[in-house]
Amino acid sequence: RDIADAHLSGTLHLTNLGSWILKPSKFMHDLRFFFKHGLKTDATDFNRPSYPSPKNLETALLTASNIIKIASTEVIGEQNLDYFNVFLAPFTKNLPPDDIKESLRLFLSNLNQSITNTGTPLETSVGLELVIPDFLEKQTAFGPNGKTTGTYADFVEESRIIASLLLELISEDEKHRPLFNPSLIIKIRPEALNNKECESLLLQSHQLAAERGIPYFANLSNKNQKYASYTASGFRLGADWKKDWELDTLQTGSVDSVILNLPRATYEAEGKQSRLLKILDEQLEMALRALKIKHLTLRQRVRERLLPFLTQKADGDSYLRLENASHLISFIGLNEATQSLIGKPIHEDEEALKFAKETLKYLQEGIQKSAKKETRAVLSIVPSTDASKRLVELDVERYGWSKVRASGTRDQPFYTSCVAIPFEDGFLWKKRLNIEASFHELTPGSHLAIIQLPDFQQDPNKLLSVTKEIAKTHSLGLYTYNHALTHCVGCQKTSYGLLDKCSSCGAVNTLVRFSRLST
């Protein structure tokens, strides 16, 4: 009851509340499981047939899209297909590029025709490798009919061809609205930056970023990032739980996330640091308990066979590794909380920045102390438009505008959630990224930096130089170059910026605007 009251009053925010007791929040798939054992659709419906291991590239890609489609009934949000081009590479041996491209085109079409109950495409991300990671080189490669075909080190060139053709498909057709599903996550490893054979892929991915702002880039330069897997929303899994990259990052995901209302904690603390820490302890205890309760309910769903696809077994092992799923403790309004207590935003004052970092370190230490050894709890930055608006409205209602610090306007206020610094506070991108990077290190469960681009096409070489500079800093985890776009359904023209009138035909009522959330 105390957790429910905390959510309703605005002390906490439980995400995905409508499905809280039913499903995990996010999931990282392992294509090898299905390439080896086939697709058992009868696990969810006895009237459906099971399909054997795919025999060629087209059926392998059909298997991948069906995995997303079937699992969407058992996962609330984003699903990820990591090492996508590596695991598919054995199916492309000796295939002409045109045939590979056509199969990928059908995969994209099939994936985007599968929609949720709200009419939107199933939220999917794919991880693309520019090199074969050393920990995958000696792994057995599964190819047509589930047979072993050497190791993944034998398919370097094939994996690059798949990545290149996928990037080409998403960028080539100007007559259709921008294709945002699946989200592409380009994994930047030191070996790729120092490899001449990767230069064309690096430039191609940054060309797509310069034109449409579509790909995400995972900076895996630091040794702590070597085994990291990301979704496009910033969710991260690393080899920091069982110390095994497969157990820690594949066939598992996120139980869910609970968001702490940091501004409210500072309002109630009334400037007293000791009282603030006590309030944070109380919030943290309830958040951890809420996630533990959900974990226990998911165990019950498994026993009741209500997650049949995720819990199917092969060779005696369940596909879902529930005990390795992470519990995300997130927060909202760090910048506004800092303004409330220190009097200045994070980026304008060293004392403010120090306070923000110390607050996150305190939460991180609290999670480590309070979470039991069998619970994979981690501090995170989870983007949530609903929480950023709901919590500030409740705080205004409770404390009034004389006390509340918020971003936006009084008509449309919000707390900062996706990033540490609101986007309207414009200043040099290097300074912004340095600050964001320091928070990425403190939030290993989820983080995303958004680099906002001007409303015109960028030079891909310049963006690539920024990526190389980011790789040298070693601390920024996941980032993307963001373009605001307006697409006219009438004339099929896509323009830069959030426009009120089509720049080509002048239409007003046929516009669709695209931009990542900037709260």
Indicate whether 513 pLDDT > 90. no
Helix boundaries (H) for 270-343: 273-303, 334-342
Distance CA 245, CA 498 (A): 41
User: Each residue of 253-271: pLDDT tens digit?
Assistant: 999 999 999 999 999 999 8
Q: Give the model's pLDDT for residue 392.
A: 96
State the amino acid at position 338 in one-letter form.
T
Q: For the segment 124-146, what is each residue's pLDDT rounded down to a tens digit? A: 999 999 999 999 999 999 999 99
> Nearest to residue 479, comparing CAs of 514, 442, 429, 519?
429
Higher pLDDT, 371 or 499: 499
Q: Which two tokens stand for residue 29?
A: 């798939």
Spatial separation of the C-alpha atoms in residues 89 and 156, rounded to whole Å: 8
Q: Averaging pLDDT over each range in 120-134, 171-185, 405-419, which range is the top one?
A: 120-134
Tokens of 37: 């054992």
Tens digits of residue pLDDT in 191-212? 999 899 999 999 999 999 998 8
What H or E segment, with its residue span, contains residue 158? helix 156-172
Among 43-52, 171-180, 337-346, top mean pLDDT goes to 337-346
Contact 336, 416 (CB under 8 A): yes
Answer whether residue 361 shows pLDDT above 90: yes
Residue 68: pLDDT over 70: yes
Residue bearing tokens 């610094």: 421
Angle separating helix axes 429-442 and 460-473, nearest 10 degrees: 40
pLDDT of residue 254: 98
Quick one: how far is CA 47 from the chain centroid? 34
Residues 361-381, mean pLDDT to the nearest whole number: 91
Q: Which residues contact 196 (CB under 8 A, 6 or more apart)?
A: none
Residue 503 in contact with residue 495, Cβ under 8 Å? yes
For the chain, the average pLDDT equals: 91
* Closest of 326, 330, 349, 515 to residue 419, by C-alpha: 330
Prediction pTM value: 0.93
pLDDT, average across residues 348-365: 93
* pLDDT tens digits along 5-37: 999 999 999 999 999 999 999 999 999 999 999
pLDDT tier, 519 (very low <50, low <70, confident <90, very high otherwise): very low
Q: To 10 degrees, the CA torsion angle through 450, 207, 185, 72? A: 100
pLDDT score recorded for residue 37: 94
Q: What string of DSSP letters covers 397-415? A: HHH-TTT---EE-SSSEE-
Average pLDDT over residues 493-511: 87
pLDDT range class, residue 485, cuts 50, 70, 90: confident
Of 409 and 397, which is predicted with more confidence?
Answer: 397
- Structure tokens of 34? 């299905």
Strands 478-482 and 449-452 come out as parallel
Percentage of the chain beyond pLDDT 70 is 93
**Nearest one of 308, 243, 231 to 73, comparing CA atoms:** 308
**Whole-angstrom Cα distance, residue 333 to residue 389?**
11
Given a contact cutoff of 8 angstroms between Cβ atoms, the answer to whether 233 and 15 are in contact is no
Q: Which of 21-25, 38-42, 234-238, 514-518 has the lowest mean pLDDT?
A: 514-518
